[in-house]
Amino acid sequence: MSEATAAGGTEPWPEELFTDLVGDRAAEWDRTGRIPLDTLRGLGAKGLLCAQAPAAHGGLAFSSRRNGELTAHVGALCSSLRSVMTSQGMAAWTLRRLAGPGQQAALVPRLTGGELAAVAFSEAGAGSDLSALRTRITRDGDEVVVDGAKVWTTNAAYADLLVVFGRTEDGAGAVVVPVSAPGVRIERIEDPLGCRAAGHADIRLDGVRLPADALLQGVDRTPALLVTTALAYGRMSVAWGCTGILRGCLTAAARHAKAREQFGVRLADHQLVARHLAGLLVAEQSARRACEHASDLWDEGSPDMVTAAVLAKHVAATGAARGAARAVQVLASAGSRDGHTVARALRDAKLMEIIEGSSEICELMLAQHALATAG
Amino acid sequence: MTKTSDQAGAATGPGAAGAGIADELLGFLAARTKTTWEHDQDLFAVGGMSSLFAMQLVVHLEKTYGITISGADLMLDNFRTVDAMVRLVHKLGGDRAAAAAGTTAGE
């Protein structure tokens, strides 16, 4: 019950809170492409959108494992809401690693206090290749000026703060941009394939002037280490979220296969259907074990967590994409309308094979690891 | 590793503790990559290690020397060579943990 206590004594378990809050509204959020802003702010103010943030900054100080289990629970309910958690958590983590102590003390409590944040990496010419970033962060006296354009930033349509990666005179860094600053324009993507209510948006930054300390202290000659560090959290979160997608698909498919009859027997008694259920169970358990392993390494402070996070993300995202397709196949017309758990899963999981390192980029990193450790 | 404990009085100086840290890191690199590295060799030169490996080094240094590497210290050049990592550990006050870590690595 330590988590319940951490969340405020008489508060329900975070899992129950999310279950009650989402209720049967995930379908509506998917169809309308919106989660009510006060819902997100309420969760944020309880520290639940970035539960690994330290207690000193108003966070719940969850371990990676505990936060992962919560992330999977939310992933099974609504991948759009889970994506918002991924963004908020990644913003908090990026501040913890790239910000100086004063910057952390000023900014992290805002993320545990109800304000929403997004992390902007991708640009039209810089997706998998983030070394090609062109957004410029220029010093001008005691200010910095930000110019550039970001695409497909998750949670940006809801966000109060944007953590924007870009080029500095010395190399690369990240700057914290309030969306209220003059020169910031958020253009919501109205028709995303999946995670439709996750607030994806393109961002224009035209001569955005900020105090110099908006630039986080972590500035490097290249973006590689900064970006790798920030993405480590995102990969863990996406991996756990995909485990949740698989859990949702497995439950939906198994219930349907037990309830529906064709040719005089339950669907589950048709061997080719049963095979789909076995495949879903294998995928869900494989993803969960990979996530548990990576989170445990994260919590131990083991350097093996870095590769384990990539592996977990890859296993979970590819497993979820295939598993969601199986679930739609089992439910057939019963699951083929927008908003249904498995219909959402099919679209949401496909995006998870693209975000936070595409499946192909993950495979390249894993291959590189295999080569580097072979001797 | 006995060198560090024999010269306990000198362990606060960068020389003795630095050698202990360098040995430990060279051992870590050798175990991870099945390759022998020099203390001044660029780990990230062409054909070398990735930024993913750099992050492994960050986590390893934090865990082994009880330090936190964040903000301005989180730059690739701090992990480019064993010598650079030894300097970073000194700067962040991880020296005192070095003797203990050296003993562990030697056993």
pLDDT tens readout for residues A62-113:
999 999 999 999 999 999 999 999 999 999 999 999 999 999 999 999 999 9
As a whole number, mean pLDDT of residues B4-16 equals 45
Closest CA to A46 of A26, A78, A70: A70
> Is the domain covering A117-214 a CATH 2.40.110.10 domain?
yes
According to the model, what pLDDT value does residue B104 have?
A: 45
Q: Whole-number mean pLDDT of chain A?
A: 95
- Between B33, B60, B75, which is nearest A372 by CB? B33
A109-123, A202-216, B5-19, range with the lowest pLDDT: B5-19
Question: Looking at beta carbons, which residues of chain B come within 8 Å of A108?
Answer: none
Q: What's the domain count of chain B? A: 1
Residues sharing a CB contact under 8 Å with residue A163, sequence separation 6 or more, in sequence order: A91, A94, A95, A117, A118, A119, A120, A174, A175, A176, A177, A216, A230
Q: What is the pLDDT of residue B13?
A: 45
| CATH number for position B21 | 1.10.1200
Per-residue confidence band for B1, with pLDDT thresholds at 50, 70 and 90:
very low
For the residues A145-160, what does the mean pLDDT come to? 98
> Which chain B residues contact residue A222 at CB under 8 A?
76
- Checking if the pLDDT of A125 tops 60, the result is yes
Q: Domain A224-372 adopts which CATH fold? A: Butyryl-CoA Dehydrogenase, subunit A; domain 3 (1.20.140)
Name the minimum distance, in Å, from the CA of A293 to any CA of chain B.
Answer: 16
A305 touches chain B (CB under 8 A): yes
Question: Which of A96, A222, A368 has its CB closest to that of B50?
Answer: A368
Return the domain boundaries, chain A: 2-111, 117-214, 224-372
A246 within 8 A of B94, measured Cβ to Cβ: no
- Is the minimum CB–CB distance between A226 and chain B shorter than 8 Å? yes
* Intrachain domains A2-111 and A117-214 with the same fold: no
Which domain does B57 fall in, by range? 2-106
DSSP character for A211? E
For chain A, say whether B92 makes contact (Cβ under 8 Å): no
Which among A253, A251, A246 has a CA at the least distance from the CA of A317? A246
CATH superfamily of A2-111: Acyl-CoA dehydrogenase/oxidase, N-terminal domain (1.10.540.10)
pLDDT of residue B98: 53
pLDDT at B34 over 80: yes
Return the structure tokens found at A61. Answer: 């100080």
CA distance A115 to A44: 7
Tell me whether residues B55 and A232 touch, CB distance under 8 A.
Answer: yes
Residue A134 has what pLDDT? 97
A307–B52 C-beta distance less than 8 A: yes
pLDDT at position B97 = 55
CB nearest A375 (choices: B34, B57, B70): B34
The shortest C-alpha distance from A54 to chain B (Å) reads 14
| Prediction pTM value | 0.92
Taking CB atoms and an 8 Å cutoff, what residues of chain B touch A310?
52
Asked if residue A3 has pLDDT above 70, the reply is no
